Amino acid sequence: KIETPTLPAYKAGRVYVAEVLKNMVAMNPAIIGGSADVASSCGGHWPEIQGHFLPPAFAEKVPGASYSGRYIHFGVREHACLAILNGISSSSCLIPYCTLFTVFYQYGLPAIRMASISKFPVLYIGTHDSIDLGEDGPTHQPVELLPQLRAMPNLLVIRPGCVEEIVGAFQVFAAQYTDKQSISLYVDPKTVVRRPVFVMTSRGELGLPYKGNTGIKGTEGLWRGAYVLHDCVDEVPTGLVPPSGKGVPRAHHVTLPDIVLIGSGQDLALVMKTKEILLQWSKTFNERLRASFDGFPHVATSAAPAVLKVRIVSMPCWELFDEQDQEYQDNVLCSKYQKILRIYVEKAATKNTGHDKYAHMSVLMPSYGLSGKAADVERKLEFTPEFIAAKVWSSWMDRGRILPQAGDEADRGFSSWVSHLGRRAGSH
């Protein structure tokens, strides 16, 4: 059983992952892995638990060196590292893992592809997952790798947004060895029993600015790929409270949101902070609007304008979410309602990489990253709560031209663009 480690809030994502992995390694002697010379930054090596997989002749220089060691020093050989893990998975009862900077997995993509084709249950852990890793700059900022991995069949790509979701990701991986699974929704004609799992996390702090109000724990919601973390009302219907175990019930909501904000990883905290700003702006806007009508008849008895209703959806794993039934997906994203605007925020991915399947609009990386301190880079590339809130607010005011309507046709030039000019905010 993997439990949430006792750690202070707002630690780096790589610290949380390393702590959970350490618990797994200590409990299961079948787990063996290594890193391509970056274990000190990514975590993944505990000599007192694993020792060193080295010839006994090295014991004088490296205490614990023996062929019974469970940590392999791969050196700077990313492709060889991942290919060797495939061999371990295919020919033994051992459970292989690897920890690397996320961007360095690009050197070993062919080996990951082979693991996905062969359904080898290899655990990949990628840290330093977006633009917040510091002065190393765009060469180390993997803004395009997340979509590349998501495009691989049979590969689970999980980008947790909090420590509970990290624990859930490891539970999903471990369940492949303890539970009988049959994923029939995959295109692959062969039944998927096991598959590789890629857990992607951050160099910087990982945590939520406030608690969710739906009663769904991250460890439970992750099994569904996406779940409602914070709804637009605090009075949560009883249908949202999950039972014990990993299952999450289908949600039945009385109050529908105006906007659904979707995020993963560090961006989950970003959209939650964005929601706070949007609610404050909405309240201020309504107060000023109402004040402008002071002195008009019936103003005192008229209902106050409604505050913007925003739902926060955590979507750590596309593949698991796509495997859920359509009713659950519709309930989480409110995709059956044409008047609800859905916006996806993710600074670890570039545009035109599939987000339009879940959202009307996406705030993604427009280019490669920049060299500089994380806060400065995020401000320059407009990934702060204030910038995101401004983009969401602008999209909401202009939603008449964003949301699809009956009779819409493909954009074929100036004529189809002009046909949208008659739509104004609130017209629908």
Instruction: Respond yes or no: is residue 78 known to be catalytic.
Output: yes
Residues 34, 72 contacting (CB under 8 angstroms): yes
Name which of 121, 142, 124, 157 is nearest 317 in CA terms: 157
Q: Rounded CA gap, 35 and 97, in Å?
A: 9
Across the beta sheet with 341-350, the strand order is 227-230, 310-314, 259-263, 341-350, 361-365
Which residue among the candidates 19, 60, 78, 205 is catalytic per the annotation?
78
Residues 155, 120 contacting (CB under 8 angstroms): no
Outline where 47-188 has alpha helix (H). 47-50, 78-91, 109-118, 145-150, 163-178
Please give the sequence-ordered ranges of beta strands (E in DSSP) within 76-233, or none if there are none.
95-101, 123-127, 156-158, 197-200, 205-206, 227-230
Distances (CA, A) of 376 to 128, 184, 282: 17, 45, 28
Outline where 30-135 has alpha helix (H). 39-42, 47-50, 78-91, 109-118
Please give the positions annotated as active site: 78
